[in-house]
């Protein structure tokens, strides 16, 4: 979406504005299986993120499993372990959603956790051609996390699921072409 200033448009966007245009690809993905890997570091926030993701998956007709890990750094390894085990058992996952929250503290740990978890997820998605939605919040305050976790606000759990679903539609459409 082009957010540059236009005549008569004095609206200023911030990075947190929900401005993603709806995607038009309606490739059938019903019956697909999704994996949600969640970091249960902040239980209440995680409940909100998980609710947003599950709502989107159900609306799209997907079944899902949830794997819980202690923190965001463990998410990529859990994704790799779980998708390999599922494939070996003849029940592969079609998409993955990563959910968690990293809130800035007084040390550089925030940067390490946020950057390394994102990097590892991107590496997995590209190397394995895996439709993946990254819903790991990286915020400065708990208030920012809540604004992003709640479905009534930015609904980043739902956003992560929609991203994974969009990538799955692309993968399915191109596989059929």
Would residue 109 show up in a list of annotated catalytic residues for this protein?
Answer: yes
CA distances from 44 to 39, 104, 135 (A): 12, 18, 15
> Of 19, 20, 109, 119, which residue is the catalytic one?
109
Tokens of 51: 């609710």
Q: What is the dihedral of CA 91, 133, 58, 84, to 10 degrees?
A: 10
- What residues are labeled active site? 109
């Amino acid at each position: 979406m082009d957010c540059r200033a236009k005549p008569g448009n004095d609206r200023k966007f911030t990075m947190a504005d929900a401005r993603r245009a709806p995607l038009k690809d309606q490739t059938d993905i019903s019956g697909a299986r999704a994996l949600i890997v969640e970091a249960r570091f902040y239980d209440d926030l995680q409940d909100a993120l998980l609710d947003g993701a599950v709502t989107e998956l159900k609306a799209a007709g997907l079944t899902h499993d949830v794997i819980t890990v202690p923190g965001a750094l463990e998410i990529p390894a859990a994704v790799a372990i779980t998708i390999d085990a599922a494939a070996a058992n003849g029940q592969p996952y079609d998409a993955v959603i990563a959910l968690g929250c990293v809130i800035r503290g007084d040390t550089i740990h925030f940067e390490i956790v946020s950057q390394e978890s994102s990097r590892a997820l991107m590496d997995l998605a590209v190397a394995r051609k895996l439709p993946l939605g990254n819903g790991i919040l990286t915020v400065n305050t708990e208030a920012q996390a809540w604004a992003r976790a709640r479905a009534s606000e930015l609904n980043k759990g739902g956003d992560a699921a929609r991203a994974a679903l969009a990538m799955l539609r692309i993968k399915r459409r191109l596989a059929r072409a």
